[in-house]
Structure 1
Amino acid sequence: MNSSEDALPASRHSIVLHTTLAFVIIIGVTLASMLGGLYMADAIEGDAAAINKAGSLRMQSYRLALLADLGNPLELSEAVDEFEHTLQAPVLLQALRRHRNQPLTELHQRTLRHWALQMRPLLTSQPVDSAGFRREVTPFVQELNQFVGTLQVQSEGKLEVIRALQVGTLFVTVLIAFVVVYGIHNNLVTPLKELVSLARQIGRGHFRVKANYQGDNELGLLAATLNQMSDELANLYEHLERKVDEKTAALQRSNQSLQLLFNSARALYTCPDEPTALIGSLLAGVQNTLKSGPVSLCLNSDPAFGSHTAISSVNLQPPEYCSLPDCDQCPVKQTGVTPGGAQTLSFPLRANNTELGSLRVEQTVGERLEDWQQQLLATLADLFAASLGLSRLGQQQARLALMEERAVIARELHDSLAQALSYQKLQLTRLKKQIANQHPSEALETTLGEIQGGLNAAYRQLRELLTTFRIKMDAPGLAPAVQATIKEFGSHSGVEIDLDYALGHCPLSPNEEIHCLQILREALSNVIKHAQAKHCRLALYQDRQGIVHIRVDDDGIGIPTLESPGGHYGLSILHERAGSLHGRVEVGRRPEGGTRVHLTFLPDYRRINVTPEPDTAPAEPLALRSP
């Protein structure tokens, strides 16, 4: 048997049982009253007829006295027979049997004896003794009156019993009904009102309301169950409220963490060159989000040589315990505890397996960071490390670009100006020998003219190199630089230059863009200086095989020869730059007149380096074909 069955009220305290018992009592009393009334009604059935019969004996007695005086024997005989028949009438005999009362029976027997012994002989004697009969009539009638009165009293007594039975039944019924109504009001209506009020309060969310009714019955069990349910609902509601508050707080923390990460990433993206100061300005927001102690950042170029920067979230200065540049004396590295007694937790900043420093947070000794705080600090450490790593990578790439640019300048100077000056140095040595050997003035003037022409050519090459070196790729892509170049050459040359640019979809590398631009400038310079052209057309496009075409056409006099004249290195420079692009350049005359410079190369993004299979020849780079 379970606990709920054990908690059921006992039968003697059951409202249902009490109510049923009350109705059973009412029904029982009513049935008893009805049965008693039926019995008593059956007991007095025929009493009225018997009383009438008994009353008629008095009248018949006076009639017999009258007939005795008249002297009519026949009528008197019939009247005597009728009197005897009435005296022994079945109605009277049944009434005597129903009542079974000793006085009533004795009165009837005495009346019979009086009639048989005294009254009837006076009427049957010859002659009839009418005078004696008249004397006996009066006592006989008195006996009859006494008999009738006794019978009437017996019948009325039974009627009183019926009346008393009905009144008693009514009283008992009313009493029981009053008790039932009182019990229902106290044990059913009032508790039900209280339970209904409790249910409404629970429905409104007031789970701490209690039912005061106590009883060992069904409503008492219901009240106790509702109280228990209310307590459980209150505890569950409070538990759910705590859970909702915890989830809300967790969501708010997550939102703040995500907002911090987003703001940090956006800020670092806008300042990728030197993010150290920007990271320092973010530390206060990190501390505010974590609700922790001061947050500090310690950066180093090489872990073996100590740190170079330390920033705290308090005042963007090194922490009070910091010993820069003597990092070996740092208490954090020695004990992990600051002089103020705070425990320091460090999160390393690593980028490409390089230790860049650490992100530190001060906490009370023994106080542990929550999981979300550790996760946020680890994520911020990775974000800061990535930003610092990208900054260092950008600086390294800038150094490499500077070194490459210096190598390009050196190569350009060596291939053009240095050779021209070296040739003029030989010419100067030749002039000295001519002067020493006393050559004719005509020969000396010829040599001087060649030296002067060579110097002028070298000076022009120097200016072209300076112009080329000053090219800036400020705007993204090759198109702005090409348009700027066309504007530069077309503004003072008188040559109309048209542009057909179709490389907007082609992501060329910066090195490829520089070489393409230098080739275009060299080709345009040759058009303006040597072609005597009025129109020039530039076409830049990519074919279906992914090969980039750069074509410069003019309507000038056409190139006379494909070999560079002495002291001129323009064509050789074009071929060298095309070789740097792993392409080729073709220079020739156009059938319709003029010259065409045509550069073709496969850009780096369309090349796939295929690793050769063992024992096979190396594969050439493949070009990605457009679908």
Structure 2
Amino acid sequence: MFLSSFRERLTTRIVTLSTVSLVLVLAMIGGTLWLSWQLQGAGAAINDAGSLRMRANAVAIALLKGERAASPPLQLQIKEMNSTLDRLRKGDPARPLFLPNDSDVRRQFDHVANEWHSRLEPDVREGMTAADSLAISRYLLRLRTFVTGADQLVGLIERENARKTAWLRTSQMALAAMACIGTAAIVYLLYLWIVVPVQRLHEGLARIEAREFDARLPVETQDEFGHLAAGFNRMAAELQTLYRDLAGRVEAKTAELAAQNRELTALYEMAAFVNQPNDVDALCRGFLARLMLQFDADGAAVRLLTEDGQVRLIGSEGLPAVLLQDERCFAAGTGACDQRPCRQVGFASVAAFNIVSQGEKLGAFSLHFSGERTIPASEAQLLETLGAHFGTALKSRRLAALARQLAVSQERNLVAQGLHDSIAQSLNFMKMHVHLLDAATREERMDEIREIVPLLAGGVADSYDDVRELLMNFRTKLGSGDLRSAVDESIERFGTQTGIALSLDYREEGGLPLSPDQQLQVLFILQEALSNIRKHAEARHVFVTIVNNRDFSLLVEDDGQGYDPKEMAVLGETHVGFHIMRERAQRLGAALRLTGAPGHGARVELVLPAPARQTA
């Protein structure tokens, strides 16, 4: 199988064709070279065979001149004659020189050589040594026969040379014809093996480009183009299948993308809605309305768990009063209404999902349908996600309400402490003096009455000032960057009430403004510190330093009577003013340090570090 496939390969055929063509061309060229070499050797043989006549005649002339054996020219001619005959017999491939491989030529050469060696050469030697005229005469008589034989030898060689020349021409013509035929054959084979498959492949690709996916190529060989045609057919079949199913796939993908887009739109709209500052009732109504519109429901309801663990209906849309009387919460899931009151009022199916926030179940919501409706997995997951969004919004509103309650409670506590530290003590002082005044009046002690009445008037004035100060403090509201004006107003009011000299050093050193809430707490601490100075310090000078840098700092110092830190430690939280300042500093995340000494004034220092501060 492998051998058959190997033989069918295009590369194998091309290599085989090239090898055969090369062998034939080399054989023809070798034949022509061999013929040319034979002709060249035969031409040299013709020259040497022709020189035999010349040398034989030269010997005859030397003998007629009476030259003897000692004569060098005669010796040279005899030697050259023998050397020529020897070269003709043995040949000389280097020149090249050799007689044609023909029996007539060989026989004639043997005749000429034998004529020289057996007859002419002996006659020459006898005539050279004995000056035998008879030997010379025989030489001359036999010379004609030798020359005739040499001429015949030359004629035979020329005839053989002419025959080989004709062969050479024939070979050259055959080589030219073979070159033309071989070229045409190679071009034709290459056309069949390469050009035709490439043209078929090009036509097939053109049909594929024209969306004719039923185009197929004939697989007639097992070579590379056969495998390529088979691969093309497989590709065309796959494209035909894909194109056939493409419309359905595009439609299904479009529907899937549309569904996902609807889900994303629903999630976005619901997230935007639940983040709006609505109360719980408006939140439930908007949530149910969007659910009914998104899922084509005919009714919907939201039930939440109360703090006592009961399930209560919070909101509904499209449900009759009979169904709303059932306060039970539907279990999460979908199903028919065979066993529920909703079946009696025209609802065929219901879907219920939990409302959760961070794993805590807050309640459930239900969707009611007049017809049979099965919620697919994708819509069920969307509804669970919407329930989680709704639960998160509901939880955030509950936490916000608790935060507001806590803030109100804390502020009430601070108000109560402020009242206790100021007005309550003044009222207690006046109550005690009223009892004293009543007793003095009954006993008509006028001197004592004259002493008590100014004290009561001073107590009333102090209480009035405390009330005004508290009202001013509680009504204070700050926006971004309003701290400086509020500080100036508080210091001006303090100076008006007390007449104490106050110096303010307010420095902005690159720090960003505090948030309004932090500004308000800083202002309350400043007001509380000034109130303590007004009530207890008996100071002549007060120094306030505020520095807004990377850290925010507030420093309030006075030169009053001061206090004993040990006594303040014993009093603890009973000194309401100090306790209020500490609570406000703790709410800020700031450090508060209170220092003082008897007769050396007091010092309140507040430092709000950069990590705790909030920019406006």
Measured in 2, the distance between the counterparts of 1:520 and 1:266 equals: 47
Relative to structure 1, is the Cα distance of residues 499 and 404 closer, same or farther in structure 2, using a 3 angstrom cutoff?
same
* Match for residue 388 of structure 1 among 384, 388, 397: 397
1:304 aligns to what SS in structure 2? Answer: coil
Contact 1:500 1:539 in 2 (8 A): yes
Relative to structure 1, is the Cα distance of residues 512 and 45 closer, same or farther in structure 2, using a 3 angstrom cutoff?
closer
- Give CA deviations for 1:494-552 in whole Å, capped at 9, x if unaligned: 7653224689899989888745522313424778xx77x6x64334699xxx9986323
* Match for residue 176 of structure 1 among 182, 192, 195: 182
Measured in 1, the distance between the counterparts of 2:483 and 2:320 equals: 52
Relative to structure 1, is the Cα distance of residues 43 and 292 closer, same or farther in structure 2, using a 3 angstrom cutoff?
farther
> What is residue 471 of structure 1 aligned with on the other side?
473
Aligned AA for 1:538? V
* Match for residue 10 of structure 1 among 8, 22, 44: 8
- Give CA deviations for 1:444-471 in whole Å, capped at 9, x if unaligned: 4752762464155235414413431441
Measured in 2, the distance between the counterparts of 1:168 and 1:357 equals: 106
Measured in 1, the distance between the counterparts of 2:605 and 2:43 equals: 144
Measured in 1, the distance between the counterparts of 2:196 and 2:100 equals: 62
Deviation, structure 1 residue 282: 8.7
Measured in 1, the distance between the counterparts of 2:544 and 2:273 equals: 41
Relative to structure 1, is the Cα distance of residues 26 and 602 closer, same or farther in structure 2, using a 3 angstrom cutoff?
closer
* Match for residue 460 of structure 2 among 448, 458, 461: 458
Deviation, structure 1 residue 419: 0.8
> What is residue 348 of structure 1 aligned with on the other side?
356
Contact 1:29 1:173 in 2 (8 A): no
Contact 1:347 1:358 in 2 (8 A): yes
Aligned AA for 1:420? F
Measured in 2, the distance between the counterparts of 1:484 and 1:197 equals: 95
Contact 2:32 2:171 in 1 (8 A): yes
> What is residue 78 of structure 1 aligned with on the other side?
none
Measured in 2, the distance between the counterparts of 1:502 and 1:418 equals: 40
Measured in 2, the distance between the counterparts of 1:424 and 1:572 equals: 28
Relative to structure 1, is the Cα distance of residues 173 and 44 closer, same or farther in structure 2, using a 3 angstrom cutoff?
farther
Contact 2:553 2:608 in 1 (8 A): yes
Q: What is the RMSD computed on CA atoms of the aligned residues?
A: 6.9
Quick check: 1:520 aligned with 2:520? no
- Equivalent residue runs for 1:154-303 within 5 Å: 166-189=172-195, 191=197, 212=217, 214=219, 216=221, 218-220=223-225, 223-224=228-229, 227=232, 268=275, 301-302=306-307
Measured in 1, the distance between the counterparts of 2:42 and 2:576 equals: 150
Measured in 2, the distance between the counterparts of 1:45 and 1:284 equals: 123
> What is residue 488 of structure 1 aligned with on the other side?
493
- Give CA deviations for 1:407-454 in whole Å, capped at 9, x if unaligned: 3366347732431342244135415632xxxx4xxx347527624641
Contact 2:544 2:554 in 1 (8 A): no
Contact 2:351 2:368 in 1 (8 A): yes
Aligned AA for 1:388? R
Measured in 2, the distance between the counterparts of 1:478 and 1:11 equals: 93
Deviation, structure 1 residue 403: 4.4
Relative to structure 1, is the Cα distance of residues 275 and 321 closer, same or farther in structure 2, using a 3 angstrom cutoff?
closer
Measured in 1, the distance between the counterparts of 2:603 and 2:574 equals: 10
> What is residue 104 of structure 2 aligned with on the other side?
97
Deviation, structure 1 residue 219: 4.0
Contact 1:337 1:344 in 2 (8 A): no
> What is residue 74 of structure 2 aligned with on the other side?
none
Aligned AA for 1:520? L
Contact 1:46 1:95 in 2 (8 A): no
Relative to structure 1, is the Cα distance of residues 381 and 267 closer, same or farther in structure 2, using a 3 angstrom cutoff?
closer
Relative to structure 1, is the Cα distance of residues 432 and 186 closer, same or farther in structure 2, using a 3 angstrom cutoff?
same
> What is residue 73 of structure 1 aligned with on the other side?
none
- Equivalent residue runs for 1:48-127 within 5 Å: 97=104
> What is residue 365 of structure 1 aligned with on the other side?
374
Aligned AA for 1:519? A
Measured in 2, the distance between the counterparts of 1:517 and 1:93 equals: 143
Aligned AA for 2:427? A
- Give CA deviations for 1:326-371 in whole Å, capped at 9, x if unaligned: 5625556686679474644434125xx8654458899962521399
Contact 1:300 1:357 in 2 (8 A): yes
Relative to structure 1, is the Cα distance of residues 411 and 37 closer, same or farther in structure 2, using a 3 angstrom cutoff?
same
> What is residue 427 of structure 1 aligned with on the other side?
436
Deviation, structure 1 residue 165: 5.2
- Give CA deviations for 1:370-429 in whole Å, capped at 9, x if unaligned: 999699658746753652343133133134225424633663477324313422441354
Relative to structure 1, is the Cα distance of residues 190 and 42 closer, same or farther in structure 2, using a 3 angstrom cutoff?
farther
Measured in 1, the distance between the counterparts of 2:379 and 2:5 equals: 47
> What is residue 20 of structure 1 aligned with on the other side?
19
Measured in 2, the distance between the counterparts of 1:587 and 1:225 equals: 106
Measured in 2, the distance between the counterparts of 1:22 and 1:217 equals: 24
> What is residue 134 of structure 1 aligned with on the other side?
none
Relative to structure 1, is the Cα distance of residues 416 and 514 closer, same or farther in structure 2, using a 3 angstrom cutoff?
same
Relative to structure 1, is the Cα distance of residues 31 and 93 closer, same or farther in structure 2, using a 3 angstrom cutoff?
closer
Measured in 2, the distance between the counterparts of 1:355 and 1:445 equals: 76
Contact 1:321 1:330 in 2 (8 A): no
Measured in 2, the distance between the counterparts of 1:538 and 1:491 equals: 16
Measured in 2, the distance between the counterparts of 1:572 and 1:185 equals: 112
Deviation, structure 1 residue 180: 1.0
> What is residue 327 of structure 2 aligned with on the other side?
328
Contact 2:288 2:301 in 1 (8 A): yes
> What is residue 538 of structure 1 aligned with on the other side?
544
Q: Give the structure-1-normalised TM-score.
A: 0.50
* Match for residue 418 of structure 1 among 416, 427, 447: 427
Relative to structure 1, is the Cα distance of residues 48 and 167 closer, same or farther in structure 2, using a 3 angstrom cutoff?
farther
Measured in 2, the distance between the counterparts of 1:501 and 1:359 equals: 58
Contact 1:500 1:538 in 2 (8 A): yes
Measured in 1, the distance between the counterparts of 2:165 and 2:20 equals: 31
Measured in 1, the distance between the counterparts of 2:168 and 2:458 equals: 160
Contact 2:335 2:351 in 1 (8 A): yes
Measured in 1, the distance between the counterparts of 2:310 and 2:361 equals: 12
Measured in 1, the distance between the counterparts of 2:452 and 2:271 equals: 66
Deviation, structure 1 residue 33: 6.7
> What is residue 82 of structure 1 aligned with on the other side?
none
Contact 1:536 1:552 in 2 (8 A): yes
Quick check: 1:550 aligned with 2:556? yes
Deviation, structure 1 residue 49: 12
Relative to structure 1, is the Cα distance of residues 24 and 198 closer, same or farther in structure 2, using a 3 angstrom cutoff?
farther
Query: What's the % identity of the aligned pairs?
Result: 13
2:544 aligns to what SS in structure 1? Answer: strand
Deviation, structure 1 residue 175: 1.9
